Amino acid sequence: MKFEILPLTAATGRCLSLENDPFPLLGRLVPRYDGRTWAVGEELWETAGEKTYPPDPFEPADYMDSPDKALFLALAGEACLGRIRIAKSWNGDGRVEDLAVRRPCRGRGVGTALMDAAVAWAEEKGLDGLTLETQDNNLPACRFYLKCGFVLGGIDARVYHHTPHRKETALYFYLPLSL
């Protein structure tokens, strides 16, 4: 699959549209803490399902020519295959705000190329690492972040308390950068 990773500009902004494709619910990442470090396992479910996140509104203009934020697009011609949004955080890390890849493009290098762009941006800005949050039941995303070198740094069982039917736990991943 041929595509290129480009920053959001006035020219690439016309390609920003991206469907909010569902992801499979296969199981969950199971964190274990020994008092010093986190380890992870998996719990696979007998019956798979799907989940679609609600729309994630943001202002694209905030990411154009900003010293503190960036948005990169994976483009095949005029078609947007995926995007990643990143911002400087108060603690010297870069925070991945959102990573989305169209369902037909998953597992084909698009997410990795987008994450590589975010890492390069963070290194260029002199940041210490990247952070992100996902849910324990987004097992494909958890697997992807671990494959990219992220480590689990903590959990929060209360973030999604308003959605008890989902029984999700927030997982916080970190990728230290060597500068």
Q: Which two tokens stand for residue 137?
A: 């039941």
Distance CA 132, CA 98 (A): 8
pLDDT at 71: 97
For the stretch 88-143, pLDDT in tens is 999 999 999 999 999 999 999 999 999 999 999 999 999 999 999 999 999 999 99
Q: Which two tokens stand for residue 55?
A: 């729309």
Instruction: Please give the DSSP secondary-structure letter assigned to residue 54.
Output: P
Q: Please tell me whether residue 55 adopts helix, strand or coil conformation.
A: coil
Q: How far is CA 67 from the centre of its chain?
A: 20
Q: Which two tokens stand for residue 164?
A: 């008890």
Question: What residues have CB less than 8 Å from 107, skipping those under 6 apart?
Answer: none
Q: What single letter denotes the amino acid at residue 50?
A: E
- Residue 60: name the closest of 68, 70, 52, 50 by CA: 70
For the stretch 51-97, pLDDT in tens is 988 888 899 999 999 999 999 999 999 899 999 999 999 999 999 99
Residues, the chain: 179
